[in-house]
Amino acid sequence: MIVSWQILQQFVDLFAVTPEEAAERLTMAGAEVERIERPGSKIGGVVAARITSLKKHPTRENLFVAELDTGTGSALCVTAATNLTDGDRVFYGPPGATLPDGVTLGVRDFDGMSSAGMMLSAAELGLPEVDIVEGILVLPEDAPIGADARSLYGFGDTLLDVSITPNRGDLLSVLGMARELKGLFPDSVLRPLPWEKSDGEEEWPVEFGKISLPDPGCLAYHLGLATNVAIAPSPVEFRVALTHMGMRPISNIVDVTNYVMLVLGQPLHAFDLNTLPGREVTVRSASDGESIVTLDGKERVLTPKDMLITSGGEPIALAGVMGGDRTGIGDDTTVVALEGAAFSALRVGHTSRRLGIASEAAFRYSRSVDPTLSATGVDCALSLMKAWSGASIGYRKKSATNALPEIRPVTLTKRKLQTYLLWSDMDESTKILEGFGIRQDTAASASVESRTFVPPTWRPDVAIEEDLIEEIGRYRGYNDALDLLPGLLPRRGDLGAPTKLGSALRDCALNRGYVEAITYSFLPESFVKVLHLPDDDPRAHPLLLANPISQDWIAMRTTLLPGLLNGLKESAASGWRAPVRLFEIGRVFLRASEKKEDHGHTEHDTLAALIFNGTDPRTPWADTADDLLSVRADVEALLRTRGFEPAFARGSEPFGHAGQTADVLVGGEKIGCLARLKPAIERELAFPGPVYVFELRISSIEIPQKPLFRPASSFPATFRDVSMLVGNEKTQDEVLAEIRAAAGDLLESVKLFDIYAGRGIPEGYRSMAFSLCYRAFDRTLNDEEIDKIHNSVRDTLTQRGYNMR
């Protein structure tokens, strides 16, 4: 928000406060002033002058010779501008004057005619948007001759570029900034609005029906009337002000709506009444697929979440966002219907982001606008229309309202004030809050320990006690509180189990060659289709944001995989050819129930990873490409870091390749999955090779398992092998478990050392060979004992259906 210091002083008397002092105070109170600009500071020596004579150049037909009264004498100036006449007042730069671009003016000869300095356009003064015709900037008839240009029409203004936080929509106006400074500088005085209100009582001279608000998203709607309008440029000082504050001057009527929006914070829209399809206005929800062509000439396709302003059943504007192209103000407009309304911040914000229309009006509405300000905005704008265009404005506004937001009192307690600010002066707190317009509720009971306050309508962000304490803290500052903070903590601080868990897993992943990624917690709803999630999968029903950043970030993530896949997709599309190993530790959000109207949810800390072998496999070393087994080793390493021994079971995931998908188990409970992506998904995402992923819910391994130690046996081990045919439906872990159960306590370890399928092996089977290590901790086992145990293992496995070899 760019604030004009000169206009700000029309709303608040700050006495001797300088722009730098105000900027420092605003910044420390949370409204950061990013820079202070003085656009006219480099203008030097330029004055207002009057043309006393204008004649053609004696030898150059395209030039004119002007004689100027500069207030201190006369000057002769040659120009090619064709928009001047005798008596016009202009800005004149004599020889030695400097312009914003650093140019110093001098004397120039035009075929024997010396031109001393030059008459200036707005572009030459650094504000090209102020020029309404090509040529010299013509000043008002009452421009004081000889006056310095920097003292006139805002050319010497000081501008504050203020960064406004999203919760402070009230600061997106000069009036809002004046109120803020009134609170920060208690001796300052707010001034009344600098224009007359047009509370007309005449009936409209044209037939017009009622205003209907079937959509509750429109809180209030007011329509004012201006007749006998003459479209013309706005006064110079207002064109300069609009340009300084980031708006392009267009015409007096359009400029009025923009100016009032900038200074009051109330967006307005002007309709050419004669172009309205009907003599009524309705604010309703759009029909699905309904469309409107907006002022920028683009057709917008709408949904029922969008609000439309219609007339005669036809759309004429997107409520709070942008007007339609058929009812705008034109050069032939003579009757203006002026809209001032209060719209739902959520609804306007949704439409603005969905359609990508970042209008100034939508920017303000989506951050909340004072719902009681719309009528005042219309009155002030009509007053300016009368002054700028000679319009007739004494007509009664047509209005309609829905339920306005209820203002709820907020109680401040001395105990909480002391807790947060280490300060508890309730009388001083009351003065501070009332300085910001938050008045004490005298009707409510007050005591030494608590007081109740009523926030103003322009401060919807003040809703709980902590908000009141924040206002007090913003005024007092937090630097003094540092001296009151305790020195040494009573005990040593602790990182906490979740932080320690993340650190341990992060270190392990980095050591195994992974790179950490941080992706958005928001996803497009399309991720459900990308991962082929069925309707009965809880991950297919994400929580939707009420006020999303954009349509691409509308749903809370139910899995970390889409963010990683999107990162790989963008990297591959940009030409990345090397292997990719990404991991992320983050939180996923799942609905508590499948009902969309139920907003309850659960959150889980999760670790996910993605492995892609790249598109250039050439290497002078042996093949190092990852596969499902190497990725499994990474999962095992991560879990063993926490002292857990994982198990893997055949699993299925909607996005997993059949036969290359496994459930990850800890203590018999599934905590995640390991899979290669389905080839169909790899093709849809344009991945030229296999992509492996795993995702683990890490909250169940937050508390690490302590390792168990025992003395090494001093007695020798004996090894035996066993080979058998195993059906393809059996996993290695299942066979290992059965061998351990059959062998008993004397089996120290068992490992798979060979697997074969092919010639000589029946279809549906594979040959698996295991090495069994037997050892006792109190004696040396003899061959007879070992043979007995080992034969028992073979017999047991045979009884369980294995074909021993």
The answer to whether 417 touches 424, Cβ cutoff 8 Å, is yes
Q: CB neighbours of 218 closer than 8 A, spacing ≥ 6?
A: 283, 307, 319, 341, 342, 343, 344, 402
Q: CB neighbours of 582 closer than 8 A, spacing ≥ 6?
A: 514, 515, 516, 517, 564, 567, 568, 609, 610
Mean pLDDT on 343-353: 92
- 32-51 pLDDT per residue, tens: 999 999 999 999 999 999 99
- 680-731 pLDDT per residue, tens: 999 999 998 899 999 999 988 988 888 878 788 889 999 999 999 999 888 8
681: phi > 0 → left, psi -120 to 50 → alpha, else beta; which?
A: alpha
Q: Specify the pLDDT at position 433.
A: 96
- 405-421 pLDDT per residue, tens: 899 999 999 999 999 99
Q: Specify the pLDDT at position 599.
A: 63
Q: Specify the pLDDT at position 491.
A: 73
Q: Which two tokens stand for residue 69?
A: 């009264």
In percent, the amount of the chain with pLDDT more than 70 equals 97
- 477-531 pLDDT per residue, tens: 877 666 666 666 667 778 888 999 999 999 999 999 999 999 999 999 889 999 9
As a whole number of angstroms, the distance between CA 285 and CA 302 comes to: 9
- 578-596 pLDDT per residue, tens: 999 999 999 999 998 766 5
Other CB atoms within 10 A of residue 531 CB: 22
Confidence of residue 545 (pLDDT cuts 50, 70, 90): confident
Mean pLDDT on 446-473: 94
Q: Specify the pLDDT at position 598.
A: 61
Q: Which of 199, 561, 241 is nearest to 393 (CA)?
A: 199
As a whole number of angstroms, the distance between CA 417 and CA 439 comes to: 17
Dihedral angle sign, alpha carbons of residues 252, 258, 261, 262: negative
The answer to whether 4 touches 244, Cβ cutoff 8 Å, is yes
Check whether 92 has a pLDDT greater than 70.
yes
Q: Which of 102, 87, 96, 6 is nearest to 49 (CA)?
A: 87
Q: Residue type for 70, please?
A: T
Q: Specify the pLDDT at position 494.
A: 80
As a whole number of angstroms, the distance between CA 752 and CA 179 comes to: 77
Confidence of residue 380 (pLDDT cuts 50, 70, 90): very high
Tell me which H or E stretch contains 589: strand 580-591
Bridge partner residues of 220 (DSSP): 342, 401
As a whole number of angstroms, the distance between CA 777 and CA 199 comes to: 101
Check whether 435 has a pLDDT greater than 90.
yes
How far is the CA of 804 from the CAs of 735, 771, 796, in angstroms? 13, 14, 11
What is the end-to-end Cα distance of the chain in Å, rounded? 82
Confidence of residue 612 (pLDDT cuts 50, 70, 90): very high
Burial 266-286 (b: 16+ CB within 10 A, else e): bbbbbbbbebbeeebbbbbbb
Q: Specify the pLDDT at position 63.
A: 94
Q: Specify the pLDDT at position 495.
A: 84
Q: Specify the pLDDT at position 327.
A: 93
Check whether 550 has a pLDDT greater than 90.
no
Other CB atoms within 10 A of residue 679 CB: 12
Check whether 335 has a pLDDT greater than 90.
yes
- Torsion angle defined by CA atoms of residues 587, 590, 596 and 599, in that order, rounded to the nearest 10 degrees: -70
Q: Specify the pLDDT at position 368.
A: 92
Confidence of residue 623 (pLDDT cuts 50, 70, 90): low
Q: Which two tokens stand for residue 800?
A: 């369980």
Eight-state DSSP code of residue 481: G
Q: Specify the pLDDT at position 484.
A: 65
As a whole number of angstroms, the distance between CA 635 and CA 673 comes to: 10
As a whole number of angstroms, the distance between CA 604 and CA 558 comes to: 9
Check whether 551 has a pLDDT greater than 90.
no
Angle at 234 between CA 233 and CA 238, to 5 degrees: 145
Check whether 381 has a pLDDT greater than 70.
yes
As a whole number of angstroms, the distance between CA 708 and CA 401 comes to: 73
DSSP-assigned states of every residue in 45-110? S-EEEEEEEEEE-SS-TT-EEEEEE-SSSEEEEEE--SS--TT-EEEEE-TT-B-TTS-B--EEEE
The answer to whether 398 touches 223, Cβ cutoff 8 Å, is yes
Of the two residues 805 and 185, the one the predictor is more confident about is 185
In percent, the amount of the chain with pLDDT more than 90 equals 80
> Which class for 174: exposed (0-12), middle (13-18), buried (19 or more C-beta within 10 A)?
buried
Check whether 618 has a pLDDT greater than 90.
no
Mean pLDDT on 45-71: 94
Check whether 158 has a pLDDT greater than 70.
yes
Which residue shows structure tokens 């009351």? 430
- 11-32 pLDDT per residue, tens: 999 999 999 999 999 999 999 9
Check whether 197 has a pLDDT greater than 70.
no
Q: Specify the pLDDT at position 633.
A: 95
